[in-house]
Amino acid sequence: MSFTRPDVSFGAQQLSQFVHQPGQVHMDAALHLVRYLKSCPNQGLFFPSGNSSSLTAHCDADWASCVDSRRSLTGYCVFLGKALVSWKTKKQTTVARSTAEAEYRSLGTTVCELQWICYLLHDLDVSVPMPIPIFCDNQAAIHIVANPVFHERTRHLEIDCHLVRDKFKAGFILPSHISGKSQLADMFTKLLPRNIFGSFLSKLGLVVFSQVHLEGRMIKDTLEE
């Protein structure tokens, strides 16, 4: 379900951690998610016609969000024109010692996804304008990208550092700051208030298909904003 409904990606990731020994609280949370899906069964991603081939990405991290391991959560979403084509919610493999470190790892994961999408589009003979904007709400993480000197001794962070910096120098990406209120990747890293959640749904391209009927080979969809 999380492969076609980005709005439940965070909830599905949180529940998947307790599949081995679920408790009543986890069952209640699962039922809450099912009730949400039941309330909007016709909701889905809308891909507009005449879409451009430009890529944009949003990335975010929730630092030390796991109470057991204190590992952070990575979330990102990638748009092809105005269409959402890729998203992920994933726990980071190592413990981050700061918010900037967690955000930078999220940035590295997003860069890898963008590279894979570009390879795919190249095989389809689709040209992607460069550089690709990546929106991050952490100024320190963006500073690390442009800073030629990096003093950390942690090897696994150095790998992310050099990967992102190399792509930045090559003109592949352009990290840009965005306010936390406009960070769409928050949808994939944390629980949001109802009003913000609803606003992000439309910005991600999720709409309600109220009527779908076929006429020959033509499909006419009536969309409710």
Superfamily of domain 45-224: Ribonuclease H-like superfamily/Ribonuclease H (3.30.420.10)
pLDDT bin (cut points 50, 70, 90) of residue 66 is confident
Query: In this predicted model, what pLDDT tens digit does every residue of 160-204 receive, in sequence order?
Result: 778 898 999 999 999 999 999 999 999 999 999 999 999 999 999
Q: What mean pLDDT is predicted for residues 47-56?
A: 89
Q: What mean pLDDT is predicted for residues 95-104?
A: 91
What residues does each domain of the chain span?
A: 45-224
pLDDT at 209: 81
Q: Which of 14-18, 48-52, 144-148, 156-160 has the highest mean pLDDT?
A: 14-18
The CA distance from 183 to 187, in Å, is 8
Q: 181-185 — which CB contacts under 8 Å span 24+ positions?
A: 182/135, 183/58, 183/60, 183/135, 183/137, 184/58, 184/77, 184/135, 185/58, 185/59, 185/60, 185/75, 185/76, 185/77, 185/106, 185/135
How far from each other are the two terminal CA atoms of the chain, in whole angstroms?
A: 22
Query: In this predicted model, what pLDDT tens digit does every residue of 117-154 receive, in sequence order?
Result: 999 999 999 999 999 999 999 999 998 888 766 555 44
Q: Would strands 55-62 and 132-136 be described as parallel, antiparallel, or unpaired?
A: parallel
pLDDT at 121: 96
Q: What mean pLDDT is predicted for residues 48-56?
A: 89
Q: What mean pLDDT is predicted for residues 19-38?
A: 93
pLDDT at 213: 46
pLDDT bin (cut points 50, 70, 90) of residue 223 is very low
pLDDT higher than threshold 80 for residue 30: yes
